[in-house]
Amino acid sequence: MNIESQIEAVRRELITEQREGATMRVQTLAQSYPSPLADVWDAITTAERIARWFMPVDGDLSLGGRYQLQGNAGGTVLACEPPRADRAAFEVTWEFGGGVTWLTVRLQALGADSTQLELQHVAPVDVVPDEIWTQFGPGATGLGWDGTLLGLSLHLAAAGERPDDPEAWLLSAEGKRFNRLSADRWAIAHVSDGADPTAAKAASDAVYSMYAGEMPG
């Protein structure tokens, strides 16, 4: 797989804003895929296909249903808009570790065989303790979302390149290179949202070390 090309293919943004009287951190990632809208929609909403590029999921994926990713987040399907004309979208709660955040995925057809996916993760600032945000910054979740888009990219390309053991791959030279580049890009987004460049660089180094299994004991 071409790590550099995948990193460059993703647009990343971090915005801190007020929503309904609460301060939210909004992380957005977007990537275009060389696949029809209907196929991308099927890949991100069908349990059998989700398990092939992301992780196994149980529950009811229909509107109002409850889902549970094995060993990870669960939540409720808040909105589901199947493909209509050139668009599709869904929104779910993302419940993990006692916190509740929101995930919205939007698809936009760019042509008969091209689709843009936009993933937006909205989290109240009080979901993440200040000391954790200071230490790791947006990369704490951003590196995971980058890995998600990579998995989908490999799946849609039907290249058979998805690692058999994703956790082991993260600790490989290739996986570490991917996460180093992702952490650096999230540092740029962090600065664009008003963070001090030195603090953003320190956070990106810390989150890279965490993903690489190099945190001091």
Q: Which domains does the chain have, with CATH numbers?
A: 3-211 (3.30.530.20)
What six digits make up the tokens of 31? 């990537």
Q: Are 80 and 90 in contact, with CB atoms under 8 Å apart?
A: yes
User: Predicted confidence band at 216 (pLDDT cuts at 50, 70, 90)?
Assistant: low
Nearest to 134 by CA among 185, 199, 56, 211: 199
β-strand partners of 38: none
CA-CA distance, 136 to 6, in Å (whole number)? Answer: 23
Summarised one tens digit per residue, pLDDT across range 149-170 is 999 999 998 654 566 677 788 8
Summarised one tens digit per residue, pLDDT across range 102-161 is 999 999 999 999 999 999 999 999 998 999 999 999 999 999 999 999 999 999 986 545
What is the SS3 string spanning 102-159?
A: EEEEEEEEEECCEEEEEEEEEEEHHHCCHHHHHHHCCHHHHHHHHHHHHHHHHHHHCC
pTM above 0.85, yes or no: yes
